[in-house]
Amino acid sequence: MQETTGAAPEYPGDDGVTDDFGLAGVPDAFQRLWTPHRMAYIKGGQHQFKNVDDCPFCVAPEREDDDSLIVYRGRTSYVVLNLFPYNPGHLLVCPYRHIPDYTDLTVEETAEFAELTQTAMRVLRKVANPTGFNLGMNQGVTGGAGIAGHLHQHVVPRWGGDGNFFPIIAQTKAITQTLGEVRQQVAEAWPQANDAGPAAAGATDAE
């Protein structure tokens, strides 16, 4: 039986690129991916988007749909692809107003918010045939909201086996389509209403 020492395994070519300088610590079997670029987000934290001017969910409707990955614009809310999707077709339903809490929605906003969520599920079933969904709103910083200042609902399509060892062990997701392709596919399948209202036409309150 081979004895286990707990030391890190040998990798081909290591000797040629490793010097003899040693640091305190116990060698282990883990390989590490160094991501110093993430420090900008860590330092900013979830409080970094406090205002309308720097909120990505407020800025998105002011740009072209292709640029912002918007699939549909409603009267009080819109639907956009998640830039960092858990699965292909991961959508977000967002009110135009910069509000943090679900209870801040008006009756009209609540109705359309729910309607767009249902429509998102129907469209995703049509174009991607998922076998399940995860729906959710993380409320507040302690509730896990990535952008706590602007309410948004996640609509995540699920398929059998999409939670395999790859994302669980390696913290890695394999996304099989580009965001542009998914946006076009979902947008084309979205039912278009004739009375989408001023928000869909890009009008502002000032107009």
> Among positive and negative, which fits the CA dihedral 80, 83, 84, 87?
positive
- Compute the distance between CA of residue 11 and CA of residue 149 in angstroms, rounded to an integer: 46
- Phi-psi group of 8: left, alpha or beta (phi > 0 → left; psi -120 to 50 → alpha; rest → beta): beta
- Report the candidate in 75, 85, 63, 62 with the shortest Cα–Cα distance to residue 186: 85
Which is catalytic among the residues 90, 98, 150, 152? 152
Give CA 178 to chain center in angstroms. Answer: 14
Radius of gyration of the chain (CA): 22
Q: Can you tell me which residue has the tokens 């079997």?
A: 29
Q: Which run of H or of E encompasses 72? A: strand 70-73
90 is catalytic: no
Please list, residue by residue across 162-195, b when 16 or more beta carbons sit within 10 angstroms of its beta carbon and e when fewer do. Answer: beeeeeeeeeeeeeeeebeebbebbbeebeeeee
Which residues carry out catalysis?
152
